[in-house]
Amino acid sequence: MNTRRSPDYLAGYPPALVHQVRTLIEQGGLADALRRRYPQGHAVRSDSALHDYVQALKAAHLRSTPPLAKVRFDNTLHVIRNALGTHTAISRVQGSRLQAKREIRIATLFRAAPEAFLRMIVVHELAHLRVREHDKAFYQLCLHMEPDYHQYEFDLRAYLSYRDAGGEALWGA
């Protein structure tokens, strides 16, 4: 028997707000609200398109950070690591030097999502290139790169709660 609980995507938000979202899910209104706010998905479908998208954001906001060796969609992230995106630095010894290659992986869920959700998760992972912890400086950097970061994050969490409750995907696959 599987007793593993699904994550509470709305943990940490005020109880009244969580109740409002859960009520909308139960009454079937959240899907319509999200579709009105985010009417369509984005065109970033391939790993190379994602790489270009991430590089453009990085060039606009984080020019002094180390280059990215790899950027790709990963269909195992949400299931295995309970994460929507990851950033890693893989260190290898090359001769007498230690070489670090940085990678960003984005959950495949974002392949069929609104551009705002993709931008939010990419901004989040790019911010980790400069600030490791989720502290005040981290979120200030996220807001610098995307002023609506907190709204997009909340809407994404509401959407994940909707999907976790058995709701259908709202944007094309």
| CB-based contact 21:30 (threshold 8 Å) | yes
Neighbouring-strand partners of residue 74: 107
d(CA 50, CA 46): 6
Residue 131 falls within a domain, yes or no? yes
Residue 33 has pLDDT above 70, yes or no: yes
Domain count, the chain: 1
Closest CA to 121 of 160, 164, 90: 160
Alpha helices by DSSP H, listed for 67-134, are: 115-130
d(CA 41, CA 116): 9
Residue 5 falls within a domain, yes or no? no
CATH number at residue 46: 3.30.2010
Residue 140 falls within a domain, yes or no? yes
**pLDDT at position 1, please?**
44
Tell me the residue range of the domain where 49 lies. Answer: 42-91+100-165
Query: Residues 69-122: pLDDT tens digits?
Result: 899 999 887 654 566 777 676 677 777 777 778 889 999 989 999 999 999 999
Q: What mean pLDDT, rounded, does the chain reach?
A: 88
Residue 160 falls within a domain, yes or no? yes
